[in-house]
Amino acid sequence: MKKIISLIIFTFILSCFNLGFAAPDEQTVISSFQEVIQKHLDSYQDDPRIMVYYVPSDTYWIKSKCIVSNDYTYDIQKTNSIITPYTGYFIYKMRISTIDKQPTKEAAEAFNTFNKNGDRLPVNCRITFSYQGDKWIPQKYEIQSLISDKWYDVTNDTSDAVMYQRILIKK
């Protein structure tokens, strides 16, 4: 009898535990990811990640900004993890638009006429997210090679910190 009562109590406790950690509704997960995507794309309107930098090989200054379109794809996959039950992948195209070459940093900062559609080939950007505690958390930032289909992780890459700053999720 003691074993049966213990089993009933254990089952009750386990069911209470599972209710507290119930998996979120899949539609809620999808909608929240779509919101994160749209917020990120919209952030380029408010902050096009304008940068001024020196090109030492040709000795001139340049200013650039990012242009993104609504041409993107995403996918959400279930995982076997209790902590991160979903992983989301967001891929979008970004063009870099620049100004004409300038002789000084001050001239580049003051010049505001950018090439309208971007003067560089579009770069494919991929951000990988984990769904934790009802939030999408960016885990990895990558760009795709223009020559091959290989993806390069720029999350902690100090050699390409500029690209990381361009695709970083703004809070």
- Read off the pLDDT band of 53 (50, 70, 90): confident
What HEC string does 43-66 produce?
Answer: HHHHCCCCEEEEECCCCEEEEEEE
How far, in Å, CA of 153 to CA of 131, rounded? 20
First-to-last C-alpha distance (Å) of the chain: 57
pLDDT digits (tens, 9 = 90+) for 16-29: 444 445 567 899 99
Q: What is the pLDDT of residues 91-110, one digit of tens each?
A: 999 988 889 899 999 999 99
Q: Is 137:130 a contact under the CB 8 Å cutoff? A: yes
Report the C-alpha gap between 18 and 44 in whole angstroms: 40
Please report, for the chain, the start and end positions of each structural domain, with discontinuous segments joined by +: 25-167
Q: Which span out of 86-90, 98-102, 156-160 was modeled with the highest average pLDDT?
A: 86-90
pTM of the model: 0.78
> Which residue in 151, 149, 154 sits closest to 168, CA to CA?
154
